[in-house]
Amino acid sequence: MKSIRYRISEVVTYIEILLEKQFILEEPIEKNELELKSLASIACLSSYHFQRCFTSLLELSPFEFIQLLRFKWSASKLLYRSEISITDIAFLCGFESAEGFSRAFKKKFMQSPRTFRQSPDLNSWEILNQTINRIRSKLMNQNSDILDNCLDKRPTVEVVMIEKVRVGVLKHEGSPAQIPLTLRKFIQWRKENKLSPKISRTFNLMYSDPRTTADSEFRMDLCAQIKSELKENLQGIVESTIPSMRCARVDFRGRDSDMASVIDYLYRDWLDTVDELPGEYPLIIERVSFYPDVAEKDAFSKIYLPLK
């Protein structure tokens, strides 16, 4: 018999898939698909017992969880996709009017959607993301079936030679919580120079581990491939080159919050079993597809550990 925790995790997955259909594919979903009765049927529980189980396990109601996901997606679009109107974001989030969306958003983030888009206060955004990650971690840690399945999946590591790539670089120095502001500048520069991720490869150079580095010392580079001379710009983008080198490569599909465990595997387990040492160049993450253009669980990256 499935445990209560397993049943709740199935409902969480169901909710995320439905909302991804609405947010990413822009396909309408029926209201009754997210009603309490429908969610309870996924867990094979009565509505009353399901709500009590969900709330006691995750410390928020099913409706509150759905709203968190809607706010996360809408805030991401406001931050990174200036071409989408606030009204369109409101309707895609399932609100019946832009006014209703604005009221709910301001209550959650202490800023209107328009103000958040222009000058975001990232404290509420960071708290929201931490809450969602804590919920996912709680389900994972408390459900031995899911955890055991994940532990059985060891990453496949391949030693490859990467070719050098000319890139435009925007440096981020300081708290990881402020990366969204740096990323906004980077995206704006790409748009101005027509360097869509579809035609220009995207890289992160990771000089620091955010888990162990003081905010004041954290450093990473945002990079996009360029094939012509770098134009003067207001964003502070400079030209550089990712050199040709041998690397250990792991393909990763999933949320950024889960990527650290794959990187840890490279350093802790893989290096311990091969006759290789890390090189001088920092860890490289090539972002092939990413949120909010795809669902977080479908984001795809190539992780490169430079070797001597």
DSSP characters for 8-56?
Answer: HHHHHHHHHHHHHHHHTS-----GGGGSHHHHHHHHTS-HHHHHHHHHH
Which of 13, 8, 87 lies closest to 40, judged by CA?
8
* CATH match of 158-306 with 3.30.9.90: no
Cα 116 from Cα 77, distance rounded (Å): 11
Q: Look at the alpha carbons of 276, 271, 248, 152 in this order and tell me if their dihedral is positive or negative.
A: positive
- The 8 Å CB, 24+ separation contacts for 255-262 are 255/136, 255/296, 255/297, 255/299, 256/296, 256/299, 257/133, 257/136, 259/285, 259/301, 259/303, 260/211, 262/155, 262/303
Cα 8 from Cα 54, distance rounded (Å): 6
DSSP characters for 279-303?
Answer: -SSPEEEEEEE-TTTS-GGG-EEEE
Place of tokens 């010392």: 217
The answer to whether 150 and 140 are in contact (CB under 8 A) is yes
Q: What is the pLDDT of residue 141?
A: 58
- Collapsed DSSP state (helix, strand, coil) of residue 257: helix
Which of 234, 239, 236, 225 lies closest to 288, judged by CA?
225
pLDDT in tens, 182-225: 999 999 999 999 999 999 999 999 999 998 999 999 999 999 99
- What kind of architecture, by CATH, is found in domain 4-148? Orthogonal Bundle (1.10)
- Per-residue pLDDT tens digits of the chain, which is 308 residues long: 788 888 999 999 999 988 888 888 777 788 789 999 999 999 999 998 999 999 998 999 999 999 999 999 999 999 998 889 999 999 888 888 899 999 999 999 999 999 999 999 898 888 998 898 888 887 775 544 444 444 456 889 999 999 999 999 999 999 999 999 999 999 999 999 999 999 999 999 999 999 899 999 999 999 999 999 999 999 999 999 999 999 999 999 998 888 998 999 999 999 999 999 999 999 999 999 998 888 888 999 999 999 99
Domain boundaries, the chain: 4-148, 158-306
Q: What is the pLDDT of residue 216?
A: 93
> Cα–Cα–Cα angle for 303, 74, 172, nearest 5°?
40
DSSP 267: I
User: Which residues are within 8 A (CB) of 31 and not within 5 positions of it... i.e. 6 or more apart?
Assistant: none
